[in-house]
Amino acid sequence: MDFRYTPEQADLKARAAAYSQRLMQYENESEEAGGPLPAETVRALTREAIDAGVFAINMPAEWGGAGLSLLDQVIVEEEFGKVTNCLWDIPWRPANVLAYGTEAQREKYLLPVIRGERFDAFAVTEPGAGSDAGSGSSTAEKTEGGWLLNGEKWFVTCGDVADFLLVQADAGPERQPTLFFVGKQAPGVRMTRVPRFMHSAVNGHPEFVFQDVFVADEDVLGGVGKGYELTKEWFTDERLMIAARTTGAAERALELAREWAVERRQFGSRIADFQLIQGMLADCAVDIAVNRAYTHQVAWEADQPGTERKALHAKASTAKLAASEVAGRVVDRCLQIFGGRGYDRSYPVERLYRELRVDRIWEGTSEIQRLIIANELIKRGTRALALPRH
C-alpha cells in the first residue's frame, strides 16, 4: 500500500494551498464585516477557483467540473479547512446528489452551478427535526402537473446566496421522503431569518417557510421516495469533507502556535522550551497525524470499486466524529499557547476556535455519529474497522 501522493496529487495540493492563501487575504475583511464579502470580490475569487481547478471538484470533468476522486477532494478540502470565516464556501462544491438529475435537470440546475453562475443549497433540517431527519413535517401534496410544498426549513447553509434549494419533504399520503428542486424566488417561498451564529461565515444559514409552493413533476430529483437515500449519500461525502477540513484547520492552528511558541519569550526563555508547552504541541501533532491518515484511508476506500456503501457510511461517520472532536481539542490547546492574544478576534486561532465548534453539530451531531458507528458494529461486528481485501 503506497501512501505517497502521485505527482498529480502533489500538484493538486499545491494549487489548493495557493488558492487558500488567496482566500486568507480576505479573512480580516470578512471578520470585520460580520461574514459577507462584496459580490465583485466573490465573483473574482470564484473565477480564480475555476481557473485553478478547485471549483466543483466533485463533478465530472465532462460536465465542466474538476473530476476529482474522493481522495483528491479530501486533499483539496484539507487545504481549504485552513481558511477562516468559511471562505472555503467560495470555491463551491455542488451537492453530490445533483449528479443524479435527469439531463434536463442537469442543464437547468447543475451545469450553471459548475460554471459558477448559480448556487444550490440543501434544505433538510426543521425546527422539530434536527438529528432525527426522518421526523420532518414538510409535506408535498400531489396536484395537477406537480406538487404543492408546505413546511419550514432551518439552518440552510448558504441559502442566503443560493438560487435554488434542494428541499426534502414527505410526498403524498404515503409520506415518501423526496427531494424537490425549488427556486428561491418561487411564489410561496420566504426566507424568514438569517441567524447570527458564533462564527462569522462568508455565507449564512437562513430559515425558510414554504407555503403552497408549486413544484413541477420534472423538478423531483431521483424519483418520489428516493429522498432519504440521496440525503444519506450526501451526508457520507459531506462528513468526509468535514473530517478533511477540520484536520486542515487543526494543522493551521498548530503551525501558528508553534511559530508563536518559538518566538515568544517569558522568564528569559522561549515558551517552546517549557515542557508543558512542548506537551501540548506534541499532543496536537499526534492528533492531526492520526486523523489525517484515517480520513485519507476512508476516502481511498470510497474510490475503490465494490466498496460496501453501508460500511463506508459508518467509516465516514468515524472520520467526521474523530477529526471534528480532535480539532476542537487541538485549537483549544493552541489558543492556550497564545495566551491572551489567542482570545483576540484579529488572530486566526481565535476564529478557528469559534468556527470549529459547529463541526460537532452540523451534518450529524457527534452523538448521531456514535449511534451510526455502534449500529454498524452491532450488525456486522468489527469488520466495520477492516481494510478492503482487494
Q: Could you give the residue numbers annotated as active site?
A: 363
CA distance 363 to 352: 19
The bridge status of strand 120-123 relative to strand 164-171 is parallel
DSSP-derived secondary structure letter, 117: S
3-state helix, strand, coil in the chain (%, to 5): 55, 15, 30
Grid cell, residue 112, equals: 450553471
CA distance 32 to 60: 37
Cβ atoms of 108 and 118 closer than 8 Å: no
Angle between helices 309-338 and 348-355 (to 10 degrees): 140
Distances 184 to 162, 191, 263, 348 between C-alpha atoms, Å: 8, 8, 51, 34
319, amino acid identity: A
Burial class for 51, CB neighbours closer than 10 Å (0-12, 13-18, 19+): exposed
DSSP-derived secondary structure letter, 388: P
Q: Which residues contact 92 (CB under 8 A, 6 or more apart)?
A: 46, 49, 55, 56, 113, 116, 119
Place of cell 480580516: 28
